[in-house]
Amino acid sequence: MKRFLGMLTLVGFICSAELSYGQVEKADQEFEQLSYFSALELYKKAFEQTKTVPILQKIVECCKRTNRYKEWESWAAKLIAADNKNPDNYLTYGDALMRNGKYTDAKQAYYLYGRYSNGKLFESQFLQASCDSALNQMNSPITTATVKTLDVLSTPYSDWGLTKYRNGFVFSSDRPWEQKTIDKNEKKLYGWTGRPFLKIFYVESDPEKNSWGTPTLFSDFFNGEYHTAGAAFNERQNTVFFTRTRFVNTPETGTKPVLRLEIFMSEAWKEAKPFKYNSILKYSVGDPAVTSDGTRLYFVSDMQGGYGGTDIYYCDMGADGEWGPFKNAGPGINTKGDERFPTLMGDNVMFFSSNGRIGMGGLDIYRATQEKGEWKNVLRMDYPINSPQDDFSLVVTKISGVPENADKIKLEGFFSSDRFDSKGADDIYQFTCVMPQFQKEYYYKGRTMNKETGLPITNVTITVTDLSSKVSTTFKSNDKGDYEVPLKPNRQYEIVMKKNNYFASKQMFNTGDKLRMDMLQSDLTFDPIVLDRSIRLNNIYYDFNKSTITAESQAELDNLVGVMKENPEIIVELGAHTDSRGDAAVNLALSQKRAQAVVDYVVGKGIPATRITGKGYGKTKPLVMCEGGNECSEAEHALNRRTEFKVTRVRTDMAAATK
C-alpha cells in the first residue's frame, strides 16, 4: 500500500512538472514575442508549481517592462531572498524601490549592488546620489510649483503627449476607439500591455476657460495598424510629424521580433511620407520635435555611435526641401542613459526626459538652452513635477515674468506621467512653476529698411529706455542696416529708432511675456519724410454740418500727436476737405473750422502751436471729380470728405524745434 501511494505521489509530481514545464515554455514564447502582459500571468502560474530563480527573474522582468511598480518590488524582493549573490538582483530591486519612492531602502540595495559587482562602483555611487537627491526634494518640495491631473482626459488607459493644434490639442492614447478599417471583432491588442495600440486623438479646448470637448480620433489617414503617437507640428500647423511602430525580424534577432520606431511626416495632410533616416532593420527613430519654421527636426534614436541607449539628434532642411545630414545633439544634453521626448519652447529652449542623470527615478524632465548652436545649461525640473515614476512630454503653453524677482520666470503647461495618483498607465497633468530665467539676456535684432523701396537704412539711432529704471542706452544699426540690442528679462522697454528724413519708429517691448525666443527678431520699416506729401488720417468724424470732433476720432488724432512727439523736427499743416456737395463758400468755411478744431486738439495734447497750422480746402481738391456731369456714389463722396496732414518743413535746429 505504501508503495502504491508512493507511486501516486511520483505520478502527481511528474504531471505537475510537465504542467509547469509547458507553462514556462509557452511563457517563454510569449516573452520572446514581446507579449509581456500574457507572459507574466503564465510565469506566475508556473512559479506556483516550480519555484525557481529563472522563473522569478522572468517575472521581475515582465513587471519591470509593464511598469507594474509595486509587483516589481514584491517579486524582486523574492528574487533577492532566493539568490542574494547575484549583484544584478540588487540593481533591479533598487530600481523597483526607487520607482516606489522608497529611497532609503533603494540606496541600501544600490550599495550592495556596488559591493558585490566588479567595476560597478561608480554606477552604484551615482544611483545612491540620486536617492539622496530625491529624498531632499520630497522632504523640501518647491512651493512655487502646482500639479494636478487633467481629469477630463484621464482614463484607465494610457493618455499622454498633449500638443497644441488649432482650436485644441492632440494627444496619444491607447483607449478603445471605433475602428473603421477592420472588423470590430478583430480589434488587435498590444501584447506588451494587453491594451489597444496607441492612436492620436484630437480634443477642442480653451484651457483659459477650462473648457474641453469630447476627444475624437485625430485621423484614420494618419493612424496606422500598430502604434501611432507623439505628434509634432510646425508653427503654421500645415505639417505634422509623428511616430509609428513595427515589429520586425532582423538578421541579428532571427525569429525573435524587435519593436522599432519610424517617423512619418505629412504636408498639407497629403499622404504620409517616411522620414529620410528611418532604418527599421538597424535602429529606431521617433519622438519628433520641429522648430517653428519647420526647417529643423529633432528626433530620438538608438543608433550606434551615440552616448548611451537613446540620444537626441537633429537635421536641417536644405534649400532644395531635402533633409541634410543628421547630427547628435551632443554631450551637453545626451548621457549614457536614455534621452526621450524632446519638446521645444521657441527654437532655443528644449524640454526632454532622461534616466541618465541624477534624478528621482525612471524618466525625469529636464530643460536645456541652446547657445551658439550648442545645447547646454541643463536644469532638472523639481518635485512635484518630477516624481519617482516616469515623467515626460512637457509642453509650455504660457510664460510670464515674476514681478518681485527679475531672475525668475513663471511657466504654465502640461506634462505626462504614470505616477501613483494617475487613473491609468499614463495621465496628462497641468502644472505651473517658477524657475530661473532661460537666459540672462535677450537680443532684440533685425534690419532697418525703407518701407517704400525695401532697401536697408544704415546708421539708424536706436534708443532703448528701461521704463522701470528710466535708464536709456543708445545703439546704431550697422552699414548693412542690421541691429542687435541687448535686453534684460522681465523688463518693460520703450524702443525709439530715428534716422534723418524718416519718420521715427517707437514701440513698447516686454521681455517677460515672450513664449518664443525668436519673437525677439523683427525687421523694422521706416516711412521716408517727403515734404508736402499728404497723409490721410483715417476715421476722423465730425457732427453733421459742424466742426466738433467726435469721440471716435480721438484715437487717430492721438496717433498724430504721437508722430509729432516722436519727430520733434517736423512742421505740419493739417488740411480738412469736404465733399463736392453744397455751396463752395460754406464748405470752405466749415473745413477751416474743422482744421482748426484738429489743431486745437493737438496743441491741447502738448504740441507747440508753432509746429502745426490748419487750413480748410473745402471742395477745391477732390480726390474724385463729382461735378461737370460726373455723379459720385456715397463711397466716393466719403473719399473726398477727408482730413490730412503733410510735413511742410523739417527743422535742423532741434532745440528750436521743441519750442
Bridge partners (DSSP) listed for residue 199: 173
Q: CA 343 to CA 164: how far, in whole Å? A: 12
Q: CA 231 to CA 457: how far, in whole Å? A: 43
| Short-list 604, 601, 602, 642, CA closest to 623 | 642
Let me know: does 354 contact 339? Beta carbons within 8 Å.
yes
Q: How confident is the model at residue 373 (pLDDT cuts 50, 70, 90)?
A: confident
- Helices 103-116 and 121-139 pack at an angle, to 10 degrees, of 170
Mean pLDDT is lowest, of 50-59, 280-289, 384-393, 615-624, for 615-624
Mean pLDDT is lowest, of 16-25, 237-246, 484-493, 623-632, for 16-25
Q: CA 99 to CA 361: how far, in whole Å? A: 6
Cell of 607: 504740441
Q: CA 215 to CA 636: how far, in whole Å? A: 52
Cell of 56: 522569478
Instruction: State the residue for C-alpha cell 512619418.
Output: 264
Bridge partners (DSSP) listed for residue 274: 264
Kindly state the percentage of the chain with pLDDT values over 90: 46
pLDDT in tens, 67-79: 999 999 999 999 9
The average pLDDT across 499-518 equals 71
Give φ, ψ of 67 to 5 degrees: 55, 35
The average pLDDT across 87-111 equals 96
List, as one string, the DSSP characters of 269-321. T-S-EE-TT--TTT--EEEEEE-TTS-EEEEEE--TTSSSSBEEEEEEE-TTS
3-class DSSP state of 571: strand
pLDDT in tens, 41-67: 999 999 998 899 999 999 999 999 999
Instruction: State the residue for C-alpha cell 536617492.
Output: 131
Q: CA 472 to CA 562: how far, in whole Å? A: 19
pLDDT at 491 over 80: no
3-class DSSP state of 158: strand
Cell of 584: 463752395
Q: How confident is the model at residue 520 (pLDDT cuts 50, 70, 90)?
A: low
CA dihedral sign, ordered 448, 451, 455, 458: negative
- Provide the total of helices (H) and of strands (E) in the chain, helices listed first: 11, 34
pLDDT confidence of residue 441? 64
Top-confidence residue, 657 or 157: 157
pLDDT at 5 over 60: no
Q: CA 636 to CA 645: how far, in whole Å? A: 20
Alpha carbon of residue 452 to chain centroid: 36
Sheet of 471-476: strands edge to edge? 471-476, 461-466, 492-498, 505-510
pLDDT confidence of residue 440? 57
| Short-list 456, 409, 414, 406, CA closest to 431 | 414
- Helices 2-32 and 53-65 pack at an angle, to 10 degrees, of 30
Burial class (CB in 10 A: 0-12, 13-18, 19+), 295: middle
pLDDT in tens, 195-204: 999 999 999 9
Instruction: State the residue for C-alpha cell 530643460.
Output: 367
pLDDT confidence of residue 657? 44
Q: What is the dihedral of CA 621, 624, 626, 628, to 10 degrees?
A: 80
Q: Is the peptide bond before 568 cis (omega within 30 degrees of 0)?
A: no
- H-only helix segments in 509-567: 554-566
CA dihedral sign, ordered 388, 389, 390, 396: negative
Mean pLDDT is lowest, of 97-111, 113-127, 245-259, 616-630, for 616-630
Q: CA 188 to CA 181: how far, in whole Å? A: 12
pTM for this structure?
0.70
- Could you give the maximum distance between any two Cα atoms of the chain, in Å? 140
pLDDT confidence of residue 292? 85
List, as one string, the DSSP characters of 164-216. EETTEEEEEE-S----SSS-GGG--EETTTTEEPPEEEEEEEEGGGTEE---E
CA dihedral sign, ordered 216, 220, 222, 225: positive
Cell of 542: 465730425
Q: State the number of CA atoms in the 13 A half-sphere of 409 facing the CB.
A: 20
b or e along 600-622 (b: 16 or more beta carbons within 10 Å of the residue's beta carbon)? ebbeeeebeeebbebebbbbeeb
Let me know: does 289 contact 342? Beta carbons within 8 Å.
yes
Q: What is the dihedral of CA 206, 207, 208, 213, to 10 degrees?
A: 40
Rounded to the nearest 5 degrees, what angle is found at the Cα of 183, between the Cα atoms of 180 and 186?
120
| Short-list 601, 596, 593, CA closest to 613 | 596
Instruction: State the residue for C-alpha cell 511675456.
Output: 513
Burial class (CB in 10 A: 0-12, 13-18, 19+), 528: middle
pLDDT at 539 over 70: no
Sheet of 535-537: strands edge to edge? 535-537, 643-650, 570-577, 612-618
Strands 612-618 and 570-577: parallel
Neighbour count for residue 139 (Cβ, 10 Å): 9
| Short-list 229, 250, 249, 251, CA closest to 240 | 229
